[in-house]
Amino acid sequence: MHAHPDDESSKGAATLARYVREGVEVLVCTCTGGERGDILNPAMDRPGVLENMAEIRRKEMAEAAAILGVGHRWLGFVDSGLPGEGEPLPEGCFAVQDLEVAARPLVAAVREFRPHVIITYDETGGYPHPDHIMTHRVSVEAFEAAGDPERHPGTGEPWRPLKLYYSVSFTREWFTAINEGLLARGLESPLADEITDDWFEGMPQLATTTRVTCDDYFEIRDRAIKAHATQIDPEGPWFSTPRDVEREIWPTEEYHLARSHVETTLPETDLFAGIRGDQTVTG
């Protein structure tokens, strides 16, 4: 579950690529079209791009999904943007929807796709964007409601997912390890002047329950995020760490197990711990 196109490639993409290539069926649901996104790649700051942002981002999303090997579904809501302090949210945008309305397309997707595992954001959204916070709310609603035949009638046969995870990304520990690892190798760190207590203030402090080794899929992750050409500068800090160094320092992506209907032992190394058997696994 993601708020905007590009989120699926910047958060947990190597995990998705790994599971797809192990035979797991993976569906990415994107709540909004990213219509209010800015142009974050200077090379894409060209006439007509901003005016056609919705169409461009749909094409970028299709390319990224193909690179990752995932299925994809738009849930059909409009990007809320990131208003300044005290500014109202745009009328009709995703973040102002009634929860029942906002969750209904996701409940339908869950009942059709029948996933065993759902991944979303924690209560903070990972960062305080209104669409990320709303994505958390609708994900929890769908996880809890999809298996109940009394809720969201007309959206398909009930299906109860077994595990709900929150993505744990860009933590203090990750930034610190990458920074110190680069400096220890005599390499320049783009984070050296950034890592301060103030910089980390307000970051979510989720306990990591599950570490998925996925360093063999960092190259696929990078190709997927580069497909979102309006949103990522290939010359920017995202790609400044040599990938062989990143593999040595931090070869995993992290998750927090928020709900589970199966027994599992923590810590985990597999999102499907407690589930895997003879059945086809989806997530």
Known binding site: residues?
A: 4, 7, 132
Per-residue burial over 52-89, b if 16 or more Cβ lie within 10 Å, else e, is ebbebbeebbeebbebbebebbebebbbbbbeeeeeee
Find the distance separating the first CA and the last CA of the chain, reported in whole Å: 10
Q: Are strands 252-260 and 163-168 parallel, antiparallel or unpaired?
A: antiparallel
Q: Which residues are annotated as a binding site for Zn(2+)?
A: 4, 7, 132
Half-sphere exposure of 131 (CA within 13 A, CB side): 27
Query: Tokens 């589970």 appear where?
Result: 260
**φ and ψ of 209, to 5 deg:** -105, -20
Identify any residues that bridge with 167 across adjacent strands, giving them in sequence order. Answer: 255
The span from the CA of 166 to the CA of 221, in Å, is: 19
